[in-house]
Amino acid sequence: MGIGTAAQEEDFASVLLTEAQIGERVEALAREIAAQYADKHPLLIGVLKGSIVFLADLMRRLDIPLEIDLICASSYGGGSETSGTVTLLKDLSQDIRGRHVLVVEDIVDTGTTLRCLLDLLQERSPASLGIVALLSKPDRRRAHIDIDFLGFEIPDEFVVGYGLDFAEKYRYLPYLAVLKPEAYALAGDDNTP
């Protein structure tokens, strides 16, 4: 498989996961989640923007009654490292008290953003609070996070595609690619390692 247009290929070191590999894993995750949440009418909370592709694929494979909502939080205060305080850029549109909530994340990196978000959601008294993450970079973890349903553990490399961006680029790609360090070193973006 080619890895995109000539301009993209210059920025990518390799394809980390193909569309087929991601699809297979999402299918398996959906089966696991459906088995555990069949009678719980879960509320899936997608964390914007990175999780939208994963959420869309996952929910269409979950053959159980469910609802979705979206939240947008940022723990990056303009520097290259997470700040440890979360800014809510878009809140949920409903009360989660008594609901079985599953937070759907694209990637858990240091875990700072998700830790802050989980603490905030926990204060709203859901019946349960679980985590579904497509990707995890365990080598970078700083906050303790128990991921209940994980797609893939990946090495400490910056990845794009399947919803994940670099400076808002590449989210639309159906596969995941590793960005060359030169590509983000030059741009000096604020959510790179």
Residue 15 CB contacts under 8 Å (≥ 6 apart), including other chains:
1, 3, 175, 176, 177, 178
> CB-wise, 122 or 125, nearer to ligand IMP?
122
Active-site pick, 11, 57, 109, 189: 109
Size of the site for ligand IMP (CB under 6 A): 18
Structure tokens given for 73: 């939080």
* Residue written as token pair 């850029």: 89
Q: How far is the CB of 131 from ligand IMP (least distance, A)?
A: 12
Contact window for ligand IMP (CB under 6 A) among 7-15, 55-63, 111-119, 180-188: 111-119
**160-179 residues near ligand IMP, rule: CB under 6 A:** 160, 164
The dihedral over CA atoms of 119, 124, 127, 132, expressed in degrees to the nearest 10, equals -40
Specify whether 109 is catalytic: yes
In angstroms, the CA 106 to CA 73 distance is: 13
Q: Which positions from 50 through 109 interact with ligand IMP, judged by CB under 6 A? A: 50, 75, 82, 105-109
Which amino acid, 131? Answer: I
Chain residues that interact with ligand IMP, rule: CB under 6 A: 50, 75, 82, 105-114, 158-160, 164, 191
Indicate which residues carry an active-site annotation. Answer: 109
